[in-house]
Chain A
Amino acid sequence: MSMKVRALAGVLVLGILTTACATVKPWQRGTLADSCMVFDADSATAYMTHWQEAREGSMGGFGVQGGGCGCK
């Protein structure tokens, strides 16, 4: 098993093991629902990601991808 695979597995296992510690109640989630706290990409962020990937050699990490474009 390569170092990178072990590191990834470690991150995921650590994340899963520590999740049970959270105790936020449903009625305490007001701040978490604020638009500044969510990870969903709005239109402006999605466009920013799109053109950055047209200029840079790397991509992904935040969701499944479409086929994209032939941007030059």
Chain B
Amino acid sequence: MATSALLLAAAGYNWAQNQLDVSFHAFQDSRGVTVLSPDANFTKDFTDRTSVKLKFGVDAISAASDSCARCHSDGATNGRFVGSANITRKYGDTKVTGGAEFSRELFYQATTVLASVSRDLHNANTTVAGGFAFSLNQPQLHPGPTVESQQSYDAYASVTQSWTKRTVTQVGYEINQVNGYQTNPFLRTTLNGVMTVGNSPEARTRHALSARLRQALPAETFFEADYRRYHDTWSVDSNAFSLGLSHHFGPRIVGGGSWRHYAQSGAYFYQPEYTGSPTYFTGDFRLFPFDSNSVTGRFEITPKAGLLMMPAGSTLALQYERYRATTGFEAGIFTGGVRIPLK
């Protein structure tokens, strides 16, 4: 049930710059779901060795999807807020981060604590990083009052390597163990001719292996390639890869585009419909076999004199993504944001 938000990339990241990043995301799909999501990220160096990052976001969800429309003919609305705080401290070539995240919405609550460490080696040409997170997730079995519990343990390790002054790669591995209630209480399937809420196993171990490349090409152009191989104990296997190009149109404008292909198998207990008395059965579309493709375009401009009333160095970023799956699902996602450097 839990779909996880990326909280902190444990892979080696650049030392913080004081900045405020404010974004507005708009999502609309072919099921009639609209999500409007403003968020803000604030990063500040408090000393030359200590940095703090705060995040606050809101999702305003208007859902007319099949699962909601079954009981709410006019659709349903939901709101979610998420807040997180991370503190990073440098010890020579080593950075240590600790943090927490809390999110709450109708019928779901998640509380996460995390720790990560990264170390630069070989004159910072190599960065080895690792992290661990624990989440307590509490779904409510709407429309009833029962609140279930789910524990998620997540560990990650990566190696980032600069090969030349124009080539950098990263290899990462993540393992995630989820225990507890994992059935989606909203999505139903046909069991002996009757639409029924599913029943999923209460343990799931997930493995993800990733490889990423960033290559600078001639004429201020950059190539990116990402690949992820995924497997879990519910027999969901997937491959995801993306290719992209970015180009600097002068010193203040960056444009780019990317394409992503994704393919997954279904869970071992997935069937279009069920008969008899199966132990596990599901109507969760995330456990169906399908492929998808998405294309993304993005544009950034950093005006010399500043952006509107913002200081020089502020950047306006715009991005649009179009997603289409073989299940017939389609979505369009727009993001507009500004990055404001702070003193």
Contacts and interface: CB of A to CB of B under 8 A. Distances in A.
Interface of A: 4, 8, 11-12, 15-16, 18-26, 28-44, 46-72
Nearest to A37: B214
Interface string B100-117: 010101011011101010
B259 interface: no
Contact of A66 (B101, B231, B254, B288): B101
Given A59-B3, A62-B6, A67 B126 contact: no
B112 A55 contact: no
Contacts of A57: 236, 238, 264, 267, 286-288
Contact of A58 (B10, B172, B230): B230
Interface in B166-194: 166, 168, 170-174, 176, 184, 186-187
B216 A12 contact: no
Contacts of A48: 296, 321, 333, 335
A22 B287 contact: no
Q: Could you say which interface size class chain B belongs to?
A: 35 or more
Interface stretch (B148-156, B271-279, B305-313): B148-156
B248 to A, nearest CB: 8
Given A12-B159, A59-B4, A60-B154, 15 more contacts: A18-B161, A22-B162, A31-B165, A36-B222, A37-B168, A44-B298, A50-B3, A53-B3, A55-B329, A59-B3, A59-B176, A60-B176, A63-B7, A67-B2, A68-B2
B208 A58 contact: yes
Nearest to A26: B123
A71 B337 contact: no
Nearest to A7: B209
Contact of A50 (B5, B125, B236, B286): B5
A52 to B, nearest CB: 8
B37 A47 contact: yes
Contacts, number: 273
B286 A55 contact: yes
Interface in B17-62: 21, 23, 25, 27, 35, 37, 39, 41, 59
Interface of B: 1-11, 13-14, 21, 23, 25, 27, 35, 37, 39, 41, 59, 63, 65, 67-68, 80, 82, 84, 101, 103, 105, 107-108, 110-112, 114, 116, 121-126, 131-133, 135-137, 139, 152, 154-156, 159-166, 168, 170-174, 176, 184, 186-187, 206-210, 212, 214, 216, 222, 224, 228, 230-232, 236, 238, 240, 246, 248, 254, 256, 262, 264, 267, 285-288, 292, 296, 298, 317, 319, 321, 323, 325, 329, 331, 333, 335, 337
16 contacts: A22-B162, A22-B163, A28-B165, A31-B165, A41-B9, A44-B23, A46-B5, A48-B333, A58-B228, A63-B156, A66-B4, A66-B7, A68-B135, A70-B108, A72-B63, A72-B187
B238 A24 contact: no
B13 A69 contact: no
Contacts of B65: 72
B116 to A, nearest CB: 6
A64 B299 CA distance: 28
Contacts of B172: 61-63
A35 B10 CA distance: 18
Contacts of B21: 42-43
Please provide the 9 A-B residue pairs with the shortest distance between their CB atoms, ordered closest to farther.
A67-B110, A70-B108, A61-B208, A67-B135, A65-B4, A63-B9, A61-B210, A66-B7, A36-B222
Contacts of A51: 27, 35, 331, 333
